[in-house]
Amino acid sequence: MLKKDDSIMVILSSPSGAGKTTISKKIQQKYQNFKISVSHTTRKPRPNEVEGIDYFFLSNDQFKDKIKNNEFYEYAKIFGNYYGTSKKSVIDLLKNKNDVLFDIDWQGTQQLSKHSELKLTKIFILPPSKKELKKRLIQRNQDKPEIVSERLNFYENDLKHKDDYDFVVINDNLEACFKKVEEIILSEKRKV
Ligand code: 5GP
């Protein structure tokens, strides 16, 4: 994989609803050089989601064609839908000398970690408790109740993978959590 020496690549993972998407968007807003790698998915768009900004939305067949053509660095099936990081999106970001933020799950993190040429900083964001996570998933009000309970069921399994990460940050307060993630990223950036 192409890697510009002064770019950094940061993975943010968390159980669904722990706040990682909000945090990655805040980083992108504050630091123009950080760009979120826009994933491809077969999940249906949520009402507020925009094609090409939140995701590239594909049919199952379109996604499977891309798998066949080896277009993904990594992909995973999550909650019954495919999600993947295309090589082209990442290469384009690096060509433009951007720093890259990946909002991907632990399966994608494991696959990207196999690319030893990549200098990845892996951050796992956790909610303060399962109870709080449930509250946030319900408040988010973007998913049907059965999807909320499915996502909660995956929480315990997600937790098992926290040791795959370089940093674990608890999101008990969005601003404080953002600050901690910001500190980690700035310190990694200083190293290059
Ligand atoms: P959501 O449906 O809530 O947008 O995302 C569900 C999960 O899929 C989240 O944990 C998110 O980080 C993960 N995800 C999003 N894009 C990708 C991707 O390209 N690859 C992998 N492995 N996971 C992804």
Q: Judge whether 123 lies within some domain.
A: yes
Return the residue whose CA atom lies nearest to atom 19 of ligand 1. 84
| Residue 31 near residue 181 (C-beta atoms within 8 A) | no
CA of 147 to the centre of ligand 1 (A): 15
pLDDT in tens, 109-160: 999 999 887 789 999 999 999 999 888 888 877 778 888 888 888 888 899 9
How many C-beta atoms lie closer than 10 Å to residue 90's C-beta? 22
Distance 6 CA to ligand 1 centre (A): 26
- Residue 14 lies inside a defined structural domain of this protein: yes
- Residue 4 is assigned to a structural domain of this protein: no
Residue 119, in any domain of the structure: yes
Residue 160 included in any domain: yes
Give 72's pLDDT tier (boundaries 50, 70, 90).
very high
128 within domain boundaries: yes
Whether 42 shows a pLDDT value over 90: the answer reads yes
Please state the atom number of ligand 1 nearest to the C-alpha of residue 20: 12
Residue 34, strand partner residues = 99
Q: How far is the CA of 76 from the centre of ligand 1 (A)?
A: 8
Cβ–ligand 1 contact at 108 (below 6 Å) = yes
Shortest-distance atom of ligand 1 to CA 108: 22
The CA 191 to ligand 1 mean position distance, Å, reads: 28
Instruction: Output the CA 119–ligand 1 centroid distance in Å.
Output: 21
Q: Is 188 in the pocket of ligand 1 (CB under 6 A)?
A: no
Q: Is residue 3 a part of any domain in this protein? A: no
Share of the chain above pLDDT 90, in %: 71
Look at ligand 1, atom 1, and give the residue with the nearest C-alpha: 16
| Residue 75 belongs to domain with CATH number | 3.40.50.300
Residue nearest to atom 10 of ligand 1 (CA): 105
Is residue 161 included in any domain, yes or no?
A: yes
Which residue, among 100, 102, 55, has the nearest Cα to 82 in the 3D structure? Answer: 55
CA dihedral 172, 173, 178, 184 (to 10 degrees): -40
The pLDDT of residue 2 is above 50? no
For ligand 1, atom 21, name the residue with the nearest CA.
Answer: 104
State how many domains the chain has: 1
Cβ(16) – ligand 1 distance below 6 Å:
yes
CA-closest candidate to residue 39, choices 3, 79, 66, 1: 66
Give how far Cα 6 sits from Cα of 107, 166, 171, 190, Å.
Answer: 26, 20, 29, 10
Phi first, then psi: what are they for 186, rounded to 5°?
A: -65, -35
Structure tokens at 152: 């909660």
Instruction: Provide the 8-state DSSP code for 82.
Output: E
Per the structure, the complete domain to which residue 146 belongs is given by 9-191
- 73 CA → ligand 1 middle, Å: 14
pTM over the 0.85 mark:
yes
